[in-house]
């Protein structure tokens, strides 16, 4: 439990921030910390996850994994309202942090998009200027770091998993929606997977009223050219996700160089173990243990010190 006196540092609300590249376990850590500190609420800062829709493609944490923790700005916006700007995120984010603090709860900001985090946390946000060390809130910033080659190596499995869970049907449905309404869901147009699969669907349009993924897999079985086009879309997704990882790590390093104090947690071993084939059979036990030792334990200690210090 967090005492209410520990939630305001020098009159400013306290905010725990979890940063890191895509696939490093930020959402998982947010739930582990929120469960540990109990009265905590999560604000999402991934610019594609703020909208409802494309839940699998944008990798939103599923309901079951949220373990009852209250989330804000996660799938709550209408993608038809267009792209959210950093200033709009900042406006809603400030209001949300105030209301979480008024309930006596701790804010855990998780993400995602560094331009959104920068806009919300900077004391004076100027999108053109470099980040400055002065922050608007009393922040404890955790950086979940995973060695880039390990993250890159995990990408094929991750993308395949997302497709198996239904990303193909989501993307086919979104393409189908835009056939009748080209401007639909404008906020989600830049999500990785959309452009890459649009090229495939232009050549092989999804059939209306079908189980798109299943139907498409059967068609591909008999058509090597179609299978080739599908594999090309997958390679592009992996390449673009890989580029996103590089950019995210570069931006986090920039924030660190500009004077933001980041607590770096090394989740490389835990992610590496989670990817190992033998972990699948064992239910991920070793990876879970290492995650607890290398990431959750040190994070709890850092956040405890932060909450106690004033």
List contacts with ligand ATP (CB under 6 A): 46-49, 58-59, 112-116, 190-192, 244, 247-248, 251
Closer Cβ to ligand ATP, 165 or 302, answer by number: 165
Residues 6 or more apart whose CB falls under 8 angstroms from that of 294 comprise 265, 266, 267, 269, 270
- DSSP secondary structure string, 84-100? PPHHHHHHHHHHHHHHH
Cα separation, 280 vs 164, in Å, equals 16
What's the burial of 25, exposed, middle or buried (CB within 10 Å: 0-12/13-18/19+)? buried
The nearest distance, CB 41 to ligand ATP, in angstroms, is 20
Closer Cβ to ligand ATP, 24 or 307, answer by number: 24
The nearest distance, CB 3 to ligand ATP, in angstroms, is 34
The nearest distance, CB 210 to ligand ATP, in angstroms, is 25
Identify whether the C-beta of residue 39 lies closer than 8 Å to the C-beta of residue 104: yes
The nearest distance, CB 171 to ligand ATP, in angstroms, is 11
Nearest Cα residue to 235 out of 188, 201, 193: 193
Cα separation, 284 vs 62, in Å, equals 18
Query: b or e along 93-104 (b: 16 or more beta carbons within 10 Å of the residue's beta carbon)?
Result: beebbeebbeee
Closest-approach residue to ligand ATP (CB): 115
Closer Cβ to ligand ATP, 14 or 26, answer by number: 26
Closer Cβ to ligand ATP, 7 or 54, answer by number: 54
Closer Cβ to ligand ATP, 142 or 290, answer by number: 142
The nearest distance, CB 78 to ligand ATP, in angstroms, is 17
The nearest distance, CB 148 to ligand ATP, in angstroms, is 15
């Amino acid at each position: 439990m967090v005492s209410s006196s520990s939630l305001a540092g020098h009159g400013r609300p306290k905010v725990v921030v979890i940063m890191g590249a895509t696939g490093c376990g930020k959402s998982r850590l947010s739930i582990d910390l929120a469960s540990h500190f109990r009265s905590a609420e999560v604000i999402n800062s991934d610019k594609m996850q703020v909208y409802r829709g494309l839940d699998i493609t944008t990798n939103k944490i599923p309901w079951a994994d949220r373990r009852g923790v209250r989330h804000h700005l996660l799938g709550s916006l209408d993608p038809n309202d267009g792209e959210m700007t950093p200033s709009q995120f900042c406006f809603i984010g400030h209001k949300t942090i105030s209301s979480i603090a008024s309930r006596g709860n701790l804010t855990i900001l998780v993400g995602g998009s560094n331009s959104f985090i920068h806009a919300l946390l900077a004391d004076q946000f100027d999108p053109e200027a470099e980040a400055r060390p002065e922050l608007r809130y009393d922040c404890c910033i955790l950086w979940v770091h995973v060695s880039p080659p390990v993250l890159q190596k995990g990408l094929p499995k991750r993308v395949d998993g997302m497709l198996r869970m239904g990303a193909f049907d989501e993307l086919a449905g979104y393409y189908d929606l835009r056939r009748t309404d080209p401007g639909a869901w404008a906020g989600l147009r830049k999500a990785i997977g959309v452009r890459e699969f649009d090229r495939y669907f232009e050549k092989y349009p999804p059939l209306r009223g079908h189980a798109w993924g299943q139907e498409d897999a059967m068609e591909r079985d008999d058509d090597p050219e179609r299978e080739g086009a599908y594999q090309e879309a997958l390679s592009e997704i992996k390449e673009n996700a890989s580029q996103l990882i590089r950019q995210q790590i570069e931006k986090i390093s920039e924030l660190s160089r500009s004077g933001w104090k980041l607590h770096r947690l090394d989740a490389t071993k835990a992610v590496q173990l989670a990817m190992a084939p033998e972990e699948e059979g064992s239910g991920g036990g070793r990876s879970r243990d290492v995650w607890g030792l290398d990431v959750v334990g040190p994070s709890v200690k850092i956040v405890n010190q932060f909450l106690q210090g004033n």
